[in-house]
Amino acid sequence: MRLEKFLLQSHSTVKEAYEAIEHSQMGLCLLIDENGKFIRTITDGDLRRLIIKCGESSVLLDSLDPIQPLWANRKEGVSKLLEIMKEHDIQHIPILDDDFKPIDVVLRKNIESPPVLLSSPHMGENEINFIHDAFETNWIAPLGPNVENFELEFAKKIQSPHALALSSGTAALHLALVVLGVTSGDIVFCSSLTFVASANPILYQGATPVFIDSEPETWNMCPSALERALKHYGKMGKLPKAVMIINLYGQSANMDALVKICDQYEVPIIEDAAESLGAQYKGRPSGTFGKLGIYSFNGNKIITTSGGGMLVSEDEDLINHARFLSTQAKDPANYYLHSKIGYNYRMSNILAGVGRGQLIVLDDRIHSRRTIFNKYVSAFKEMNIFDWMPEPEGYFSTRWLSCGVLQNFNGDIELKLNSFIRRGIEVRRIWKPLHTQPLFKDCDYFEHEKGNSISDAIFAKGLCLPSGSNLTSEGQDKVINQIKSLL
Ligand SMILES: Cc1ncc(COP(=O)(O)O)c(C=O)c1O
């Protein structure tokens, strides 16, 4: 549906208006003036009344009876649009830009039906049984058999010897920094293209983040930019206390190259695998390459405990230290004795039950997300709309989210995004790089190449499409059709 094909001026005939209405497939066309400004909506009912009044279909639209037109500004949210349509008992509303020109038409049925979500929780059959066990045994606490077993089962799944279940991925990142001794005045390198939760814990510790660009091959940390940054800070005698490598959208970073560089400078790696549980790099699970790795079970992740996280390491001492800190750092004594700052970061036994059930279906969830991604790829193949997030040889992405950068698109991406939302489709932009966030405006940034910031380019035209493992085939068809018509 192309808007310009059902915009008409007053000198058009009723016959032309009927053709435009048929073209819109919405039972309406829009009347505009010679400057493109909106005058009114025309339905086939309006045309019928006009023919009855004037008796022929060659009559011009300027003979329509004047009405008070209904419209909404492009800045209105969907709830306001629905409110207007309900109040006036109408099924569609034109959307105008600030110059009063039509840019879209919203159908009531699109915003009244449940939206197609980006990535919603997808429960299996076993979660409820583990929760039931917790209730039966009254283990309603941040410890208990589900927590212990979730840690063991998770560690086995990702082939890491030690795992600690926590209240969030952010808590896991925070403890990773604490046990590596990151403190006030330290520097921590961090991928720029990520969610703010990756870098916030650096600030909790009073340390300073330095951001590293992505490489085009993986969208994850660029090895050459990392090397340049290490050289630069090494020369000043101020090497970072840790390098935080983020594995975005279900895909590992280039770990061979990154580990080699970090080893050379003897800087430990924290691997933020919040978004990449189940991904692999050269057959090894994502999240197990660093000194410490973290995962998130937030509601939108590939498996969820509603909220939760996991810290993993081959180093038992680090995990034991984090375990101690995660429960208020209680020193061994028969009373409450504390000599260190502690945190309340443990996962509850009920949520760990959800996690155990979810872990059972992880492989199915990966399969579904990859299938969804492949369907998008084949649906848009001919149209060349997207440059998809690459999956190089030797990488196995879970395709947690189907992400791509728009090709040949020079419009306003925010406006496009609003058009999706108005059609009941939750499309999101790629993370806004952290070096461009006001919060980090004073932090250093090392780009891929001089004058070529990959993370900025990906952000500028990058979109994440609905990718939940419970996305129905009809839901995905709706997304595909809308993208085809809007782009
Ligand atoms: C890359 C990344 N790191 C860290 C986090 C934080 O995880 P959580 O929400 O469990 O605290 C998230 C997501 O939420 C994330 O996407």
Query: Can you give the residue ranges of every domain in the chain?
Result: 3-112, 127-360, 362-486
How many Å lie between the centroid of ligand 1 and the Cα of residue 97? 36
In the 8-state DSSP scheme, what is residue 307? S
Q: For each of the chain's 487 residues, which pLDDT tens digit applies?
A: 578 888 999 899 999 999 999 888 888 999 999 999 999 999 989 999 988 888 777 789 888 888 899 999 988 888 899 999 999 999 999 999 999 999 999 999 888 888 999 999 999 999 999 999 999 999 998 899 999 999 999 999 999 999 999 999 999 999 999 999 999 999 999 999 999 999 999 999 999 999 999 999 999 999 999 999 999 999 999 999 999 999 999 999 999 999 999 999 999 999 999 999 999 999 999 999 999 999 999 999 999 999 999 999 999 999 999 999 999 999 999 999 999 999 999 999 999 999 999 999 999 999 999 999 999 999 999 998 999 999 999 999 999 999 999 998 888 898 889 889 988 999 999 999 999 999 999 999 999 999 999 999 999 999 999 999 999 999 999 999 999 988 8
**H helices within 219-361, ranges in order?**
223-235, 255-264, 316-326, 349-360
State pTM to two decimals: 0.92
Give the type of residue at 356.
R
How many Å lie between the centroid of ligand 1 and the Cα of residue 470? 21
Q: Ligand 1 in contact with 167 (CB < 6 A)?
A: no
User: Among the atoms of ligand 1, which is closest to the Cα of residue 246?
Assistant: 1
Q: How many CA atoms lie within 13 A of 304 on its CB side?
A: 15
Superfamily, domain 3-112 = CBS-domain (3.10.580.10)
Supply 97's token pair: 């830009």
Domain 127-360 and domain 362-486, same fold? Reply is no
Chain centre to alpha carbon of residue 259: 27
Determine the CATH number of domain 127-360. Answer: 3.40.640.10
| Closest C-alpha among 268, 218, 213 to residue 243 | 268
Q: Ligand 1 in contact with 251 (CB < 6 A)?
A: no
**Axis crossing angle, helix 349-360 with helix 145-157, rounded to the nearest 10:** 30
What is the architecture of the domain spanning 362-486?
Alpha-Beta Complex (3.90)
| Closest C-alpha among 139, 137, 83 to residue 111 | 83
How many Å lie between the centroid of ligand 1 and the Cα of residue 320? 22
